Chain A
Amino acid sequence: MHTNYILVAVVALAVIPIFLWAYLMITERIVARTSRKTAGVLRPWFWILPAVSLLIIFLVYPVVNTIVLSFMDARSEHFVGLKNYLYIFSDSGMLVVLKNNLLWLVFFTAICLVLGLLIAVLSDRVKYEAVAKACIFLPMAISFVAAGVIWRFMYEFRPSGTPQIGTLNAILTAIFPKFEPKAWLFNRSTNNMALIVVGIWMWTGFAMVILSAGLKGISEDVLEAARIDGANEVTIFFKIILPLMLPTITVVATTLIINVLKVFDIVYVMTNGNLGTEVIANRMYKEMFNYRNYGRASAIATLLLLAIIPVMVMNLKRFNAEENNG
């Protein structure tokens, strides 16, 4: 069966906007017929109704449901208590998954931050700042899938002695004549780092943009005063710039952590989690579709939520502080 593209396009571009516009108009008519007081009470609910109902159907209810399912068996028929959670923390395959996520968490976050900060500081001092930043930021625009293809090609391996078509092996064999070409994605000692490098390549631009904005917010007078006092650039960086940027660094670090915990696409496209590279999100996908074990899949998802709750609390606190000050 072929999709009727014209029909879909018409629905997408005409019917939906008209429907939403009509909704606003009709509900306003209904509200306007009631007394002034009722109208004031009723109207806000009509305005938030579409958003709130979508949020309840697609987010609130499923989250609660998934937590319940995580205490049930594979087919969600019987209550099994903590069995799924015990499995997560005892199965040898799952322990590899948790270890891999930890590797991602540490290396991805740390290297993105350090490189992002380095590039932000360096590019701040050159005339071609915009071009340099665009180079670093560019990978943010493309999909993880395309990045996966790009980097599978970078890591391509040919036996030693034949011409290397993968850029990485070619560069290394050219610089070090004794270097043995490596199958980066198949070698258990390198494949996790090879995947993390792809993540770093994509997300350093994000760290750089935010950190650079924070850097520009530091007053030039403060830095100039320190220079007149005879401080060198390295001291200025560690004693003045770094402490002043700590709040920005925290924001970037939390965002990176939230994203790295859920990493899925890179692993799915490049190794599909084979050879000891599986991470939480890929394992959940496999439990869901390959093994049809909804209990375990739900428990794994709930684990992700638990890891992210501190960030959620932090966001709520920050919002409260902002509201009370403003």
Chain B
Amino acid sequence: MANKSGSVKTGWKRVLSAIPLHVILILICVAWIIPSLGLLVSSFRPKSMIATNGWWEAFKTPFAFTLENYAYVLTRGNMGRSFLNSLLIAVPSTLMPIFIAACAAYAFAWMRFPLRKALYLLVIALIVVPLQMTMIPVLRLFNKIGLTGNFIGIWLAHTAYGLPFAIYLLRNFISQLPRSLIESAQIDGASHPTIFLKLVLPTSIPAISSLAIFQFMWVWNDLLIALIYLGGTPDVAPMTVTISGMVNSYGGGWEYLTAAAFISMVLPLVVFFALQKYFVKGVLAGSVKE
């Protein structure tokens, strides 16, 4: 009996001692969610209310929600066009580095050539180079050949900047493929392009998808490179540039800023919730990126 009551006591003790753990963890989580929640709620509130009382008052009746802020920033605030621009910048800037890096990774993993190791060490060294080191010379080059302020320039820049990490990640994966797989294809008379396109690329899909998500998010969320190489032309500005322009010009125009910020978050949030597993894998693998 004594034994039994003892175990009950420890059971109770366990529950009691676990309470602080839950309290701390839940408090941290709530603190982490509140900022985003405040933004989301505010973006649906009418202008007059955002400026006069806190967003939490929105949950008191009578409810007053509106889509006007979204309608405004999408039509007159340039956000519709900026959304398209972000997409047109991010998609090629994701596809190009992956393909070019995959070719190089295949050569680094499965071909023998002089300087192979030296070149690969260079790639690894370049992963952490601050992009600030490249901006003045590249901007001068772009000015000379007319690539400032258009998509081709920024595609090339993002592609080049994404390459070192992409080559590193893909080479790690591609070099782990079984030797017998590659060799038997070669014996069957398959050429290198065939092996690469039909065998290596399809089997590397797990690594490629993590990399794709990582690179896409990186480009989508980038402000600095777009600011420098696109030079603030509204015609080609992605959302990050447009929103930071709005912050400077509107200052406290919260009804537009909150809506604009949320529009820029929609796609990353969808990617995050739909592909969380791959995204986390990309971050895990990417722990050396820049």
- A and B interact: yes
A51-B163, A54-B156, A268-B223 as given contacts; A32 in contact with B191, CB under 8 Å: yes
Considering the chains assembled together, what is the distance between the CA atoms of A5 and B85 in angstroms?
A: 9
B153-192 residues with Cβ-Cβ distance < 8 A to A are 155-157, 159-161, 163-164, 167, 191-192
The residue of chain B having its C-beta at the shortest distance from the C-beta of A170 within the complex is: B54
Are the CB atoms of B280 and A137 closer together than 8 Å? yes
Report yes or no: A301 in contact with B164, Cβ–Cβ below 8 A. Answer: no
Check B271 against A141 for contact (C-beta < 8 Å).
Answer: yes
- Asked whether A20 is an interface residue with its Cβ less than 8 Å from the other chain, the reply is yes
Q: Is A199 an interface residue (CB 8 A)?
A: no
Evaluate contact between A269 and B247: CB separation under 8 angstroms. Answer: yes
- Judge whether B25 is part of the interface by a CB distance below 8 angstroms: yes
Contact in complex: B132, A262 (CB < 8 Å): yes
Query: Which residues 60-111 of B sit at the A interface, judged by CB distance below 8 A?
Result: 84-85, 88, 91-92, 95-96, 99-101, 103-104, 106-108, 111
Closest to B161 in A: A58
Per-position binary interface string of chain B over residues 203-243, scored 1 when its CB falls under 8 Å from any chain A CB and 0 otherwise: 00000000000000100111110011000000110011001
| CB contact under 8 A between A126 and B22, given known A59-B164, A142-B269, A154-B35 | yes
Asked whether, in the complex, the Cβ of B133 is within 8 Å of the Cβ of A138, the reply is: no
A10 to B4, CA, bound (A): 75
CB distance A281 to B159 under 8 Å? no
Whether a CB of chain B sits under 8 angstroms from the CB of A60 is: yes
* Chain A residue with Cβ nearest B175: A326
Expressed in whole angstroms, the Cα–Cα distance for A2 and B22 within the complex equals: 55
Q: Which 3 A-B pairs rank lowest in CB-CB distance, beginning with the nearest?
A: A58-B160, A143-B221, A47-B107
Measured between C-beta atoms, what is the minimum distance from B158 to chain A in Å? Answer: 10
Measured between beta carbons, the chain B residues less than 8 angstroms from A255 are 287-289
At the interface, yes or no: A246 with Cβ under 8 Å from chain B?
no
Q: Does B247 contact A141, Cβ atoms closer than 8 Å?
A: no
**Interface range for A:** 35 or more
B84 contact from A5, A163, A281, A284, Cβ within 8 A: A5
A25 CA to B197 CA, complexed, in Å: 11
Nearest B residue to A294 by beta-carbon distance?
B136
Number of interface residues of B (CB under 8 A): 115
A150 and B137 CA atoms in complex are apart in Å by 34
Contact yes or no, B128 A58, CB < 8 A? no
Q: Which residues of A contact B280 (CB under 8 A)?
A: 137, 209
- Given A167-B35, A316-B121, CB of A149 within 8 Å of CB of B167: no
For B85, what are the chain A residues with a Cβ–Cβ distance below 8 Å? 3
Q: CA–CA, A269 to B223, complex, Å?
A: 10
A16 to B159, CA, bound (A): 12
Asked whether, in the complex, the Cβ of B130 is within 8 Å of the Cβ of A261, the reply is yes
Query: A151 contacts which chain B residues (CB < 8 A)?
Result: 35
A41, B113: Cβ atoms closer than 8 Å: yes
Smallest beta-carbon distance B72→chain A, Å: 16
In angstroms, how far is the closest chain B Cβ from the Cβ of A268?
7
Asked if A135 and B38 make an inter-chain contact with CB atoms under 8 angstroms apart, the answer reads no
Q: Chain A 100-133 against B: per-residue CB contact (8 Å), 1 yes, 0 no?
A: 0000000000000001001100110110000110
A24 within 8 A of B: yes
On whether A153 and B42 interact (CB within 8 A), knowing A58-B161, A144-B223, A312-B128, the answer reads yes
CB distance from B91 to the nearest CB of A (A): 6
Contact of B99 among A17, A125, A134, A210 (CB under 8 A): A17
CA distance A170 to B38 in the complex (A): 12
Q: Is A84 an interface residue (CB 8 A)?
A: no
Q: Which residues of A contact B131 (CB under 8 A)?
A: 262
Given contacts A24-B193, A262-B130, contact A54 B272 (CB under 8 A): no
Residues of the A chain whose Cβ atoms lie less than 8 Å from the Cβ of B124: 315-316, 319
> With A51-B167, A213-B284 in contact, do A142 and B265 touch (Cβ < 8 Å)?
yes
Tell me whether A150 and B36 are in contact (CB under 8 A). yes
| B247/A149 in contact, CB under 8 A | yes
Which chain B residue shows the least CB distance to A162?
A: B52
Contacts A265-B223, A305-B133 given; does A141 touch B193 at CB 8 Å: no
* Docked CA distance A292–B270 (Å): 41
Contact of B157 with A262 in the complex, beta carbons under 8 Å? no
